[in-house]
Amino acid sequence: MAVEAAPTDLPGALRRALESAEWTKFVPKGADVSLKVNLGWDLFIPGSITSPFFVATLIDAIRDHVGKIYLVECDQVLEDIEKAHRMSLMADVCSRSGATWVNMGNIPSVPVDAPNNVVLKRIEVPQILKDTVLITVPVMKTHAKTGLTGSLKNQWGCLPKTRHEWHLVLDDAIADLNSVIRPAFAVMDGTIGLEGNGPKSGSPKIANMVLCSSDPVALDTVQAQFMGLDPNAIIHLERCRARGVGTNDLSRIQVRGLDPARNHVDFVPAHHNAVSMVENLLRKSLLKRLVFNTPIFDVCLAGAKTYYRIWTALHAERCWQIALAHPYYGPTWRTAYENRSRR
């Protein structure tokens, strides 16, 4: 895998990382591709979603090698992905680049039986992922439920919006999912990541890097090192290795470019915020069926949305200013900030 520094020249760093990781060996010439971005929050802050500037730069870098380019994500029960697509200006990226936006919750899917899986014995795979080569494009983040979210967790957004049902068995579910929907290549946005109580209510962290690999397990293992986290404590990495998705053995992972031992940018680990904590408690309680399988769930969703609106009102401006103050990344986020401020 390859890791390049990108403090002042993202296009150059991205091209060097792609070439060093030999991406064209894994994405056939002329193949139509789906870029699975992270757009999992419509009240986004920098670091909580894949940067639109990063995606535009990636599209420019791969355009001459691939066929049609799709930008894909799927709705959540808590978030409006279409709104996130518009407000983040990812829609403008599609318009300028010619990429096609696909909300995978609105297209046909193909049921795939996976009897050897632990949790997800049947997975509804969006048809577009059967018709294209998948390139996963996560952002470097901490995560309260999984320690970190990277190129493996990013496929969570390929499942239907009821995927929250598997939150208590997330490590096995991620391994199940990636054994069926394994990306051909992974490109991580490590320009501005998110530390603290991710994947939403954290704080932007300037990391200044691009990570590329054909092995998503190896990429996330090295990601953990760069973030100052113990890869052995990230349970889904070992579960995915056991399923043959990739390797988390550091002695077998060749890192070209930045050395994680010398260039790590320590992230504050994640803890459960109020929404995550309450959800876990309810899912483990005798009230689980009542709360999650009746109209009471709509009340819970309204409460969670209110929590994030309040959190945003109290903390988002501080987070935005961290990103906007950066001399290179700040200007790339400013238009999205102004667009978001007008809503």
- Tens-digit pLDDT profile for residues 102-141: 999 999 999 999 999 999 999 999 999 999 999 999 999 9
User: Once rounded to an integer, what is the mean pLDDT over residues 138-153?
Assistant: 97
Say if residue 342's pLDDT is above 80.
no
Q: Could you tell me the CA-to-CA distances from 185 to 21, 84, 192, 194, 340 in Å, in that order? A: 9, 24, 21, 22, 31
Task: For residues 135-159, give the mean pLDDT.
Answer: 97
Is the pLDDT at 311 greater than 90? The verdict is: yes
Provide CB contacts within 8 A for 82, sequence distance 6+.
75, 103
**Range scoring the smallest mean pLDDT among 34-43, 140-149, 278-287:** 278-287
This prediction has a pTM of: 0.97
* Residues in CB range of 211: below 8 A, 6 or more apart: 1, 2, 3, 17, 140, 186, 187, 188, 190, 219, 222, 223, 226
Average of per-residue pLDDT across 244-252:
97
With 70 as the cut, is the pLDDT of residue 249 above it? Answer: yes
The whole-number pLDDT of residue 339 equals 86
Residue range 325-334: average pLDDT?
97
**% the chain with pLDDT above 90:** 95
Confidence of residue 162 (pLDDT cuts 50, 70, 90): confident
**What's the chain's average pLDDT?**
96
**Res 72: pLDDT:** 98
Q: Are 233 and 147 within 8 A, CB to CB? A: yes
Q: Taking residues 51-73, what's their average pLDDT?
A: 98
Mean pLDDT of 53-60: 98
208-243 residue pLDDT tens? 999 999 999 999 999 999 999 999 999 999 999 999
Q: How confident is the model at residue 343 (pLDDT cuts 50, 70, 90)?
A: low
**How would residue 336 be classed by pLDDT, with cut points 50, 70 and 90?**
very high
**What average pLDDT does the segment 247-256 reach?**
96
